[in-house]
Amino acid sequence: MRVRHEAFDTHTLVTSALLLGLSVVLHQLQLFHFPQGGSVTAGAMLPLILIAYRFGMGTGVLAGFVYGMINIVQDPFILHPVQVLFDYPLPFMAMGLAGLCRDNLYLGSALAFGGRFLCHFISGVVFFGSYAPEGMSPVWYSLIFNGSFLLTEFVICCIVLKILPVKRLVDNILPTHS
């Protein structure tokens, strides 16, 4: 795997900001919102994946952090300061992992959603285990709860990736640096 140098210039900043704005707008198009947090959206993570795909993991992680901070302002569900880390900045920073597999967008997306799932899963076990139905393990509860909405989000992103001409979009709308 070849490591690519990431340039953080005006082009990268402006393009990332526009894609972040698109993520925020898509987050508002919620198909379903769970009472304890978590939602299924119209592909809100796709622009974050595209940032990581186009500009690399470092820029993707930074964009995910910014998105997490915006998300906590828009849709907070806070039980504990450590829970905030595992439900807001860290899972969205994990979306930057898509930049590790820039040759395979679907594998990169799976890796990104896997990292996001891990963060939400830990938060679910540690902080939301008390919401588990009587007799159900907090581990199973977190696995089912977080797995259901994140798997649905992942499938939606993959469908949109399949429909969109991503390669042409990245090559033409997000041109490389000269």
Number of structural domains (the chain) is: 1
At 36 the pLDDT is 73
Residue 3 lies in a domain: no
At 176 the pLDDT is 57
Domain that holds residue 151: 10-172
User: DSSP characters for 27-95?
Assistant: HHSEEEE-TTS-EEESSTTHHHHHHHHHH-HHHHHHHHHHHHHHHHHHS---S-HHHHHHHTHHHHHGG
Residue 34 lies in a domain: yes
Cβ(170)–Cβ(53) under 8 Å?
Answer: yes
pLDDT tens-place string over residues 122-144: 999 999 998 899 999 999 999 99
Burial of 138 (0-12, 13-18, 19+ CB in 10 A): middle
Residue 1 lies in a domain: no
Residue 2 lies in a domain: no
**Maximum C-alpha span of the chain:** 60
pLDDT tens-place string over residues 88-119: 999 999 999 999 998 899 999 999 999 999 99
Residue 149 lies in a domain: yes
Q: Residue 178 — pLDDT band, cuts 50, 70, 90?
A: very low
At 1 the pLDDT is 47
Residue 178 lies in a domain: no
pLDDT tens-place string over residues 141-168: 999 999 999 999 999 999 999 998 877 7
At 37 the pLDDT is 75
At 175 the pLDDT is 57
Quickly count: other Cβ atoms within 10 Å of residue 31's Cβ. 12
Residue 138 lies in a domain: yes
pLDDT tens-place string over residues 61-71: 999 999 999 99
Residue 24 lies in a domain: yes
Q: The domain spanning residue 131 has which CATH number?
A: 1.10.1760.20
pLDDT tens-place string over residues 14-43: 999 999 999 999 999 999 988 777 889 999
